[in-house]
Amino acid sequence: MIQTSQLTKCYGDKTVLNIDSLNISKGQSFGLVGNNGAGKTTYFSLLLDLIQPTTGYIKNNNIRVSQSEDWKPFTSAFIDESFLIGYLTPEEYFYFIGELRGQNKADVDTFVKQFEDFFHDEILNQKKYLRDLSKGNQKKVGIVAALIGDPKVVILDEPFANLDPTTQIRLKAIVKDLAETKDVTVLISSHDLMHVTDVCERIVVLEKGEVIKDMATNTATLKELEGYFAGSATL
């Protein structure tokens, strides 16, 4: 589904991303982990054509993302609150995204209703603008909006940050359902090793822009990751 080849991103003489080859299968729940500055957000930004690669390319369903927009109808993402429109209410924002994805208001209302537990009575019917919501509630809106219109690829950058424990548990169930039941390719970056190992069947570790580890998730993965990063901390 996602093919990465000879990909680099440089700023001046500094290379912040250097991935020779990375392929992500359709329907896979894929986790990207690494310390700050490892290149996780850079990779997602390249995948979403928010920045241009220095060399190489990423293909999404055989479409080179930097050369065509044909991947956009089946791909969605929430990276941070800059994806939101602060002067809209959550309902207005959901309708706006729905219209972009060919959904009418009734479709959107029906879809959003299934996330009432995730919203925990803090999002809908509150008569608040998105800019006035907490960081956690803004994230809830952005994540749910990214799921409108039945996307086949969903990209989430640090989705568990700023969420309370109950919401994190609910989000993990949502992510697992996407990959396991709906065959959606889900890409997640996270600093939370426990959460990412809970929901991702494959995890890649980035360090200084390069792939250091690429592992299928199993019962030993969390301990292996903790050991790796504990070792990095002592260097």
d(CA 195, CA 149): 26
pLDDT for the residue numbered 232: 64
Mean pLDDT of 201-207: 96
pLDDT for the residue numbered 72: 94
pLDDT for the residue numbered 233: 52
pLDDT for the residue numbered 214: 95
d(CA 124, CA 112): 9
Contact 43, 211 (CB under 8 A): no
Kindly report the pTM of this predicted structure. 0.92
- What's phi and psi for 155, nearest 5 deg? -120, 125
Residue with tokens 């359709």: 26
**Mean pLDDT score across all residues of the chain:** 93
Percent of the chain with pLDDT over 70: 98
Q: Name 188's bridge partners.
A: 31, 156
d(CA 94, CA 125): 13
Adjacency order of strands within the sheet including 202-207: 75-78, 153-157, 185-189, 29-33, 202-207, 210-216
pLDDT at 42 over 90: yes
Mean pLDDT of 177-203: 92
pLDDT for the residue numbered 121: 86
pLDDT for the residue numbered 63: 96
pLDDT at 19 over 70: yes
Residue 231 binned pLDDT confidence (cut-offs 50, 70, 90): confident
d(CA 148, CA 164): 23
d(CA 218, CA 60): 27
d(CA 90, CA 141): 7
pLDDT for the residue numbered 235: 42
Is the CATH number 3.40.50.300 carried by domain 2-234?
yes
Contact 89, 80 (CB under 8 A): no
- Chain centre distance of CA 163: 15
**DSSP symbols for 36-49:** TTSSHHHHHHHHTT
Mean pLDDT of 164-191: 91
Mean pLDDT of 206-235: 87
pLDDT for the residue numbered 26: 93
pLDDT for the residue numbered 95: 96
Contact 140, 159 (CB under 8 A): no
